A and B are shown apart, each in its own frame.
Chain A
Amino acid sequence: MIEVRDLVKVFDTRGQVVRAVDNVSTNVAKGEVLVVLGPSGSGKSTFLRCLNGLEEFDSGSVSIDGLQLADPKTDINAYRREVGMVFQHFNLFPHMTVLENLCLAQKVVRKRGQKDSEAKAMALLEKVGIAQKAREYPSRLSGGQQQRVAIARALAMDPKVMLFDEPTSALDPEMVGEVLDVMKNLAVEGMTMVCVTHEMGFAREVADRVLFFDHGKLLEDASPTEFFNAPKDPRAQAFLRQVL
């Protein structure tokens, strides 16, 4: 489904060169749930943002379903249609109601009619348990509700892959559960997912594979049982000692 080959992303801020993603290769199979772990500044978010081209990488290749991201012939907007993304800070459009947030891209990008878009939006809002807020503006919703709307907004485009960039890090603790539940249901339904997160419980329970990053390098690529019980890399061992 997703193929990443020798991915390199370098940040060069006034001569200070940081290799944020350093020669990373991996595959994600259809229906697989990948959890990306690592200390802050390890490059895991940058890696995720490279997967849908929000970050332009310096070398290597990323492809989804055979569609090459870096190929100049690839229409980046057509590519992104197939890749849903959920952000740490939700990034809902504050000037639109929840329903309009879900309908905008359906209408503008997928060229669906008003009725079809709204029907799809309502079905998804029902699914994430927030249909009663469809006519509200995002500012009237709690963080957990906003993040669930953001997930529904991404799903409205019928993506093949969902990317999650620390979806629960900006939430109050009591709201983390409702968002994780939505993500678990998605995983059960067979959605292909890549999640950058600090939720170890989620990683253990839902992930098919765990990637561990530090200083831009992919240090571990293992099943959750292997990773949590017997991490091979000393930095992964140190990381787990601190967070568990």
Chain B
Amino acid sequence: MKQKKAQWPWHVLTVLVLVGLAGALYYATSLMSYEWRWNRVPQYFAYQAEETQRATDISTVSELVRQGGSAQVTLRNDAGDEQHLTVDENSLQFAQGDDVAEGDVVGVTRHWAAGPLLWGLWTTLWLSLVSGVLGLLIGLATGLCRLSSNPTLRDLSTIYVELVRGTPLLVQIFIFYFFIGTVMNLSREFAGIAALSLFTGAYVAEIIRSGVQSIARGQNEAARSLGLSAGQSMRHVVLPQAFKRVLPPLAGQFISLVKDTSLVSVIAITELLKSGREVITTSFSPFEILFCVAGLYLLINLPLSKIASRLERRLAQSD
């Protein structure tokens, strides 16, 4: 009889290995006398932006009401015109009855603002989303062209797929930005998205093609024998089944795409990686920031693979 062995000692071992690796990393950085300053990191996610409030004319503080941390200041000039300002109480520069010159700072108001890392995350998100949707559409069309009975469509789609898959994405981005972008006067974002979606499209095309080909021929034959046209058979019978089958590789492709958006930092699109590198130049904390950047990519991709596996399970109900 097969003995069921306890699993937990192995999980404990896993934790020990991870702790050991972290310790080794810490020791290595201490050797190069690196000073970890995690407390500097949060301000690059979000910070309190200050907005200075200035007097517009030579005037006197005629009224001052302090209320719950903020102060309402009323300034009156010689003509009797009033200026109302609201500032944070602890930034107030004047008292009741003080004279104020034109342009004097009365105080500041503070509000939360997104830091560069959050802006970078946002840029990465919408770049991925737009390129992903375009890539899926291009890939679907190209994949079907690859299976077409028309030789020209087949040839063109094959050439496209082979060209894109055979050259590095980084090179394609440079070509799009410096060559096609210059010729057609494209913005850097347009060039970046074009390169990313064409790159993704080529891989999606191969995924779609293999998915469609993996559906048994009898399915198409049954549909055609009922009088469905080739297109109707593809739409109602073959593609729904193929889609279910290609969901895992498609999800993998989109996760790759999210990571590949980091490459458009080379054409000065301020996405997550470029934001991170800019932050490093002001914070002097390269390791902390790079770990944060990596963590943010994970933050996008882990839910993505979670959603894919849930969708996969839901589509499997007919099996």
Contact = CB atoms under 8 A, between A and B. Distances in A.
A92 B226 CA distance: 12
Interface stretch (A64-72, A82-90, A172-180, A232-240): A82-90
A78 B227 CA distance: 6
Interface in B225-264: 225-229, 232, 236-237, 240-241, 244
B261 to A, nearest CB: 33
B319 interface: yes
A154 B221 CA distance: 13
A153 B318 contact: no
A40 interface: no
A52 B226 CA distance: 10
Given A87-B218, A91-B222, A109 B240 contact: no
A192 to B, nearest CB: 16
Contacts of A80: 224-227
B316 to A, nearest CB: 10
B142 to A, nearest CB: 24
B241 A83 contact: no
Contacts of B216: 91
A78 B244 CA distance: 31
A108 B233 CA distance: 10
Contacts of A150: 222
Interface residues of A, number: 28
Interface string A132-154: 00000101000000000010011
Contact of B226 (A89, A94, A109, A137): A109
A93 interface: yes
A198 interface: no
Contacts of A137: 317-319
Given A80-B226, A80-B227, A108-B236, A94 B241 contact: yes
Interface centre among A81, A93, A110 (most CB of B within 10 A): A93
Interface centre among A83, A95, A153 (most CB of B within 10 A): A95
Contacts of A244: none
Contact of A95 (B221, B229, B241): B241
A91 B219 contact: yes
Contacts of B232: 108-109
A85 B218 CA distance: 12
Given A95-B241, A105-B226, A89 B218 contact: yes
A139 B319 contact: yes
A157 B227 contact: yes
Nearest to A105: B226
A83 B221 CA distance: 13
A127 to B, nearest CB: 18
Contact of B228 (A77, A92, A96): A77
A243 interface: no
Contact of A109 (B219, B227, B317): B227
B318 A54 contact: no
Contact of A54 (B224, B227, B236): B224
Contacts of A84: 225-226
Interface in B291-319: 317-319
A104 interface: yes
A87 B225 CA distance: 10
Given A87-B218, A87-B221, A104-B236, A94 B318 contact: yes
Given A104-B236, A108-B232, A94 B225 contact: no
Contacts of B222: 85, 87, 91-93, 150
A52 B318 contact: no
Contacts of B226: 80-81, 84, 104-105, 109, 153-154, 157
Interface string A29-44: 0000000000000000
A124 B3 CA distance: 54
A27 B318 CA distance: 42
A150 B226 CA distance: 11
A137 B318 CA distance: 6
Contacts of B223: 93, 105
Contacts of B218: 87, 89, 91
Q: Top 6 nearest A-B pairs by Cβ distance?
A: A91-B222, A105-B226, A81-B227, A85-B225, A91-B218, A109-B227
10 contacts: A81-B226, A83-B225, A84-B225, A87-B218, A94-B319, A95-B240, A104-B237, A109-B227, A137-B317, A150-B222
Interface of B: 216, 218-219, 221-229, 232, 236-237, 240-241, 244, 317-319
